[in-house]
A and B are shown apart, each in its own frame.
Chain A
């Protein structure tokens, strides 16, 4: 009765062999082995692991941490404000403003941050005073502390990137939005504040969060001008006890903590401005 077989469930008669994935098992095993090997190597290394927590909470390290946070936040905050201004100039109807913005981005994005920090820090070599004639004058080496030099070097470089990010964000908002705002009598400033910027934020926030994470790590370059950020703090501690790797690991842990916090913050910001 050949027709009967059709009413049976085919699985009753034929055994199904699931697809096997041998390479998944092999590659997984390789990865686990590599990690275990690295862990074993670390435990065998001549590192005083028990000293690391002490360096993590060492007063000098905490001072470096605070300085790192202040520098990163100040540089990023300034860069955002400057970036918005430069982006608006870049999009303005005034050709001089447009050219200035293009040149600004070209210069501050084009030079290495380390070079910019060194130039600001050594400014006193070429300008004795910083002054606007008849208004004020101050000696350059009084103003240009390590913090200020690092702030300018990091912040101006970042502002060039922020200008491009903000410009991309503003350009992403449909022209119809501006026209609708105009049609209910909104001024250009109100339109920017209430209609264009809130929508541009969706495009602006992800790369800005990314850049801020870069900024946190970029503050380490201020160590070359003896600003006491995390790495300089680690060096200060290890110069006394020669536990170089232990102090660097403690600094590394702080970077990971800061970056993790920044990532979480970015996640919530993105959600707040995300699509509805």
Chain B
């Protein structure tokens, strides 16, 4: 079974239907990039996978578990927020606006999940957190508060914070869209090395170059529906749908 399976996912905000029946499978170790014009529902879909949004119809499974539900006696029971929190432990998320905790240092941001959520000992968590900072190239910034870091550094700390929970799946919601152009590369480098290490990733991005070189599969969304899907070579270099051709002509 695929790590992520989404079938017929629908979501409306008020009278606007943002997702109109999305089907998507992501295999273990696969990197999937969601592309498409803004307002296509890419971010909303990603947030549904982590149950930050509740879906109106359809189903999403992560590692065989229905997101936002507990199955018992042949029925799906909606989860309480506390139970939903338990499900989210296995899924890491990186936000466009970083959302680091400003009142804690880089190291404390990374330690927060394992210590407060998993209840693990500070000493061993600290060692792991320092190793994660090393991995994202910020070992010397352990004691810095987010306000003292550049956008690119903050986003790398945010990636480390998500990794500290040892997630099965990482979700990236336009991780470089809020960055100055010269800082984009350092974040993409970290994501690339993460993909090389076999992490399963769903990435909402406008970085076509990143999608081309790192993604195993590209999914092109327009108006809440999947228009085209395939390898980067297929979708990016040889798009079949007019809407995809139109979009790529503009961004490439």
Q: Which residues of A contact B (CB under 8 A)?
A: 174, 176-177, 179-188, 190, 194-195, 198-199, 275-276
Contact = CB atoms under 8 A, between A and B. Distances in A.
Interface in B92-132: 92-93, 95, 97, 99-103, 112-113, 116-118
B102 A186 contact: no
B82 interface: yes
A275 B118 CA distance: 29
Contacts of B165: 184-185
13 contacts: A176-B97, A176-B99, A180-B95, A180-B101, A181-B101, A182-B52, A183-B162, A184-B89, A184-B162, A185-B88, A188-B82, A188-B85, A194-B116
B145 interface: yes
Given A182-B52, A185-B86, A188-B81, 11 more contacts: A180-B100, A182-B50, A183-B91, A184-B89, A184-B92, A185-B165, A187-B117, A199-B102, A275-B147, A276-B102, A276-B148
B88 A183 contact: yes
Contacts of B156: none
A185 B117 contact: yes
Interface of B: 50, 52, 81-82, 85-89, 91-93, 95, 97, 99-103, 112-113, 116-118, 145, 147-148, 158, 161-162, 164-165
B178 to A, nearest CB: 11
B101 A177 contact: yes
Contact of B113 (A185, A187, A199, A275): A185
B95 A179 contact: yes
Closest 8 CB pairs of A and B: A185-B89, A184-B113, A180-B99, A183-B93, A176-B99, A276-B145, A185-B117, A187-B85
Contacts of A186: 85, 113, 116-117
A198 B89 CA distance: 23
B95 A184 contact: no
A187 B99 contact: no
Contacts of A182: 50, 52, 85, 88
- Interface centre among A174, A177, A183, by most chain B C-beta atoms within 10 angstroms, is A183
B92 A183 contact: yes
Contacts of A188: 81-82, 85
A198 B116 CA distance: 15
A190 B89 CA distance: 14
B46 to A, nearest CB: 11
A174 B86 CA distance: 23
Contacts of A198: 103
Given A176-B99, A198-B103, A184 B145 contact: no
A28 to B, nearest CB: 42
A190 B116 contact: yes
Given A184-B165, A188-B82, A195 B117 contact: no
Contact of B147 (A174, A183, A184, A276): A276
Given A179-B95, A184-B117, A190-B116, A199 B103 contact: yes
Nearest to B171: A183
A183 B90 CA distance: 9
A186 B100 CA distance: 14
B103 A183 contact: no
A276 B103 contact: yes
A194 B81 CA distance: 17
Nearest to A184: B113
Contacts of A177: 99, 101
A198 to B, nearest CB: 5
Contacts of B97: 176
A10 B87 CA distance: 77
Contacts of B92: 183-184
A187 B85 CA distance: 5
Contacts of B82: 187-188
Contacts of B164: 184
A177 B99 CA distance: 6
A186 B114 CA distance: 10
Nearest to B102: A199
